[in-house]
Amino acid sequence: MLFIAKEAALEAGTAIMQVYESMNFSVEYKKDNSPLTAADKAAHEIIKKKLATTSIPVLSEEDKMIPYEERRQWDYFWLVDPLDGTKEFIKRTKEFTVNIALIRNQQPVFGVVQAPALGLLYWSDFEGKAWKQLNNDPAEEIHTHPTRRRVRYIVASKSHLTPETEEYIKQFPGASLQTIGSSLKFMLVAEGKADCYPRFGPTMEWDTAAAHAIARSCDCRVVDASLNEELKYNKENFLNPSFLVVR
């Protein structure tokens, strides 16, 4: 299943880059005013077809109208964001990803995150390890470093830096702040390049699940900012609470 998920992410990434490099694509807007491009649609179709071979249900951002009464019965299911960071894709910042997670009992079993414009592939496995691969280089296991006594490096959203997030960051005077798009923020904490990723603003389950799995395999915690409990998936409402990624 992990091999299939990685293949799906890579094939979707290739389709995304074909649209990205064409320099000619239109932008639609969904009911929630979020952008949608041909790249989102192409990636969705590729991933859905590839994951269908596993006979496990697929829940994608672009195909999410499955009644809760049906999906609450699922033992396992795939949770997919075909193109996370569509705003960054449109702005051509290269900070967009493909996110695929396998979920069981409201928690991610493993995740795959691919950043096609950067040539990066991240994944976690069934043994609780996390990996990073640049293009065709050998894969390297990734870890966080021992926790520092104080927070020195914070990563935050480039397109959704809310006043609440800014207020949280003020607790750490002197800390360096880096803003970046998509689930790459999780990866910076997972690799030990950042100490904390605070997110006080709306995200959906498909935005976080794959990166959550990878971060957790690096001994990071992805917790509800109010309850200090791990984020849960396949809720009746897909909206995540405000959360922190910490190590």
Least confident of 109-113, 150-154, 198-202, 225-229: 150-154
Alpha carbon distance 167, 164 (integer Å) = 5
In Å, what is the CA distance from 163 to each residue of 58, 88, 147, 166?
Answer: 35, 21, 27, 5
Tokens representing residue 200 in the block: 């006080």
Catalogue all structural domains in the chain, each as residue range(s) with its CATH number: 2-141 (3.30.540.10), 153-246 (3.40.190.80)
CA distance 230 to 223: 4
Query: The pTM is what?
Result: 0.96
For residue range 91-141, list pLDDT tens digits in order: 999 999 999 999 999 999 999 999 999 999 999 999 999 999 999 999 999
Q: Note the pLDDT tens digit of each residue in 148-187.
A: 667 899 999 988 889 999 999 999 999 999 999 999 999 9
Supply the DSSP string of 80-111, one letter for each residue.
EEEEE-HHHHHHT-S--EEEEEEEETTEEEEE
Q: How far apart are CA 148 and CA 151, in angstroms?
A: 7
Q: CB of 151 within 8 A of CB of 195? A: yes
Give me the pLDDT at residue 144, please: 84
- Is 23 a residue whose pLDDT tops 90? no
- H/E/C letters for each residue in 13-39? HHHHHHHHHHCCCCCEECCCCCEECHH
The pLDDT of residue 25 is 83
Which residue's structure tokens are 């809310």?
162
- Tens-place pLDDT, residues 37-88: 999 999 999 999 999 999 999 999 998 899 999 999 999 999 999 999 999 9
pLDDT at 150: 79
